[in-house]
Amino acid sequence: MQQQTMDMNAILRQFNITSKIEAYGNGHINNTYCTETPKYILQRINTAIFKDPKALMENIRNVTTFLRTKIEAEGGDPDRETLTVIQTADGKDCYTADADSVYRVYKFIGDTKTIENDKTLADLKEAGKGFGRFARMLADFPVEILHDTIADFHHTPKRVEALKKAIQEDLAGRAALVQPEIEFALAGEVFSDTVIRGIEQGLIPLRVTHNDTKINNILFDAEDGRAVSVIDLDTVMQGSMLYDFGDALRMGGSTGAEDETDLSLVHFDCEAFRAFAEGYLSEMGDTLTPEELRLLPFSVKLMTYECGIRFLTDYLNGDTYFRIHREHHNLDRARNQFKLVAELSEKEAELSAIVQEICKR
* Separation of alpha carbons 50 and 27, rounded Å: 15
Distance CA 104, CA 113 (A): 22
Provide the total of helices (H) and of strands (E) in the chain, helices listed first.
12, 11
CA torsion 206→212→213→218, rounded to 10°? -120
Distance, CA of 219 to chain centre: 14
Bridge partners, residue 105, by sequence:
42, 86
Find how far residue 35's CA is from the centre of its chain.
Answer: 25
Compute how many other C-beta atoms are within 10 angstroms of the C-beta atom of residue 179.
10
Backbone angles phi, psi at 91, to 5 degrees: 80, 25
* Class of the CATH domain delimited by 2-110: alpha beta
CA distance 227 to 225: 6
Does the domain at 121-360 match CATH 3.90.1200.10? Answer given as yes
Task: Considering only CA atoms, give the Rg of the chain.
Answer: 21
Burial class for 199, CB neighbours closer than 10 Å (0-12, 13-18, 19+):
middle
Q: Is the peptide bond before 205 cis (omega within 30 degrees of 0)?
A: no
Asked if 8 contacts 21 with a C-beta cutoff of 8 angstroms, the reply is yes
Nearest residue to 297 (alpha-carbon basis) of 346, 336, 259: 346
Please tell me the predicted confidence (pLDDT) of residue 2. Answer: 41
Q: What is the pLDDT of residues 3-29, one digit of tens each?
A: 454 488 899 999 999 999 998 876 667
CATH 3.30.200.20 intervals, the chain:
2-110
* pTM for this prediction: 0.94
Sites in the chain below the pLDDT cut of 50: 1-3, 5-6
Cα-based angle 267, 281, 140 (whole degrees, multiple of 5): 125
| Rounded distance between C-alpha atoms, residue 62 and residue 57, angstroms | 8
Give the chain's largest Cα–Cα span. 60
pLDDT value, residue 321: 87
Residue ranges, comma separated, of all CATH 3.90.1200.10 domains in the chain are 121-360
CA distance 308 to 229: 28
164-216 pLDDT per residue, tens: 999 999 999 999 999 999 999 999 999 999 999 999 999 999 999 999 999 99
Closest CA to 101 of 34, 44, 37, 22: 44
